[in-house]
């Protein structure tokens, strides 16, 4: 595996790969890799001649400095995982390499509306940080494909809109959320949970699934009572709720009545760890 830490070297490598007509697949990550990332790598190998994984803990997308400081870091272990799964290139830049003029002087990319609602409202500036660094990676690496998990559903919609509206010739391919046996969505942040919180965390998806079933069975189109009941259950289990609602599957407008295509989005805190999850609800 070739580990590249600076843009000049990466530019040269990409130029060579393009010259020999290699199809490039990119998996952007912030490291602390888990089975979900491995599944993305395996998926990327089906589409790509060359698989590139980036590891960059992007300070621009953190509006909470404590959250940034606590984000798990495991570079040596990550390298072992990538080598074992035969990743071709790891791009591991420093903050100065990505933001040479400083974050405060960085030109940024913002996807309107979608970046400012739901989680974007709860975490101002978060998605601006995501789209700015993703655009930088797309510009430098020029992948044919880029791969993302569906756990970060709002992020996925935003990146798809970014690609469409900035005319990137990149196919975005998503992978359904990978879960542990108890239903907890795999996430790098799970490593911050203590032993008691690890036992509690799976209740999030359990309550999401229960909510989805109730919405489907409900005779009335009104769903606010179901949402309020689910929020109460989460509170009783010890979760602090930033977001728990039902939204339009494409626009992410909050819904008060049932539609054919909906999605439950949840963002909660368990102790000092933020957990996100979702579930689609399709009604025939």
Whether 32 has a pLDDT exceeding 90, the answer reads: yes
State mean pLDDT over 23-36: 97
Candidates 199, 201, 196, 209; CA nearest to 275 is 201
CA dist 170 and 173 (Å) reads 9
Whether 50 has a pLDDT exceeding 90, the answer reads: yes
Please give the share of the chain, as a percent, with pLDDT higher than 90. 94
Domain 188-278, CATH 2.130.10.10 — does that match? no
Residue 38: exposure state from Cβ atoms within 10 A (0-12, 13-18, ≥19): middle
Domain 2-175, CATH 3.40.30.10 — does that match? no
273-282 and 24-29 as β-strands: parallel, antiparallel, unpaired? unpaired
CA dist 162 and 54 (Å) reads 19
What is the secondary structure of 218-232 as a DSSP string?
-SSSB-HHHHHHHHH
187 is in an annotated binding site: yes
State mean pLDDT over 203-212: 98
State mean pLDDT over 69-89: 96
State mean pLDDT over 41-55: 98
E strand or H helix that includes residue 148 = strand 145-149
Confidence grade of residue 198 (pLDDT, cut at 50, 70, 90): very high
Candidates 198, 279, 181; CA nearest to 238 is 198
188 is in an annotated binding site: yes
Q: List the catalytic residues.
A: 37
- The domain segmentation of the chain, as residue ranges, is 2-175, 188-278
30 is in an annotated binding site: yes
- The predicted structure's pLDDT at residue 267: 97
- The predicted structure's pLDDT at residue 202: 98
155 is in an annotated binding site: yes
Q: In what order do the strands lie in the sheet with 240-248?
A: 240-248, 261-270, 273-282
Q: What confidence tens digit (pLDDT) does each residue in 138-181 have?
A: 999 999 999 999 999 999 999 999 999 999 999 999 999 999 99
178 is in an annotated binding site: yes
Whether 95 has a pLDDT exceeding 90, the answer reads: yes
Question: For tokens 């600076």, what's the residue?
Answer: 6
E strand or H helix that includes residue 28 = strand 24-29
CA dist 133 and 84 (Å) reads 27
- The predicted structure's pLDDT at residue 36: 96
**Region at 238 (left for phi over 0; alpha for psi -120 to 50; beta for the rest):** left
Q: What confidence tens digit (pLDDT) does each residue in 96-154 have?
A: 999 999 999 999 999 999 999 999 999 999 999 999 999 999 999 999 999 999 999 99
Question: CB within 8 A of 232, min separation 6: which ones?
Answer: none
CA dist 200 and 202 (Å) reads 6
State mean pLDDT over 70-95: 96
State mean pLDDT over 272-284: 95
- The predicted structure's pLDDT at residue 247: 98
Whether 275 has a pLDDT exceeding 90, the answer reads: yes
68 is in an annotated binding site: no
Mean pLDDT across the chain: 96
CA dist 91 and 13 (Å) reads 11
State mean pLDDT over 220-248: 95
186 is in an annotated binding site: yes
Give CA separation, 2 vs 49, 75, 89, in Å: 15, 15, 5
Both tokens assigned to 130: 């995501």
Candidates 197, 206, 202, 218; CA nearest to 262 is 218
152 is in an annotated binding site: yes
Other Cβ atoms closer than 10 A to 238 = 15
Whether 251 has a pLDDT exceeding 90, the answer reads: yes
Residues facing residue 217 across a β-bridge: none
């Amino acid at each position: 595996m070739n580990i590249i830490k600076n843009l000049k070297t990466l530019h040269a490598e990409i130029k060579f790969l393009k010259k020999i007509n290699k199809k490039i697949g990119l998996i952007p990550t912030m490291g602390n890799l888990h089975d979900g990332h491995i599944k993305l790598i395996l998926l990327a190998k089906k589409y790509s001649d060359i698989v590139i994984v980036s590891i960059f803990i992007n300070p621009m997308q953190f509006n909470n400095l404590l959250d940034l400081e606590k984000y798990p870091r495991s570079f040596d272990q990550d390298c072992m995982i990538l080598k074992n799964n035969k990743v071709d290139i790891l791009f591991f830049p420093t903050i100065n390499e990505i933001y040479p003029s400083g974050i405060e002087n960085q030109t940024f990319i913002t996807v309107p509306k979608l970046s400012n609602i739901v989680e974007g409202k709860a975490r101002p500036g978060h998605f601006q940080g995501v789209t700015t660094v993703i655009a930088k990676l797309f510009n430098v690496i020029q992948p044919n494909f880029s791969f993302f998990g569906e756990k970060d559903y709002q992020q996925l919609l935003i990146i798809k809109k970014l690609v469409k509206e900035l005319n990137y010739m990149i196919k975005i391919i998503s992978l359904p959320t990978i879960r542990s046996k108890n239903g907890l969505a795999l996430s790098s942040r799970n490593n911050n949970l203590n032993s008691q919180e690890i036992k509690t965390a799976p209740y999030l998806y359990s309550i999401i699934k229960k909510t989805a079933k109730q919405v489907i069975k409900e005779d009335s189109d009104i769903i606010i009572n179901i949402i309020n009941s689910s929020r109460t259950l989460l509170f009783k289990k010890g979760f602090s709720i930033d977001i728990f609602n039902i939204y339009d599957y494409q626009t992410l407008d909050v819904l008060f009545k049932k539609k054919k295509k909906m999605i439950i989005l949840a963002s909660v805190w368990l102790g000092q760890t933020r957990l996100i999850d979702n579930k689609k609800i399709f009604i025939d």
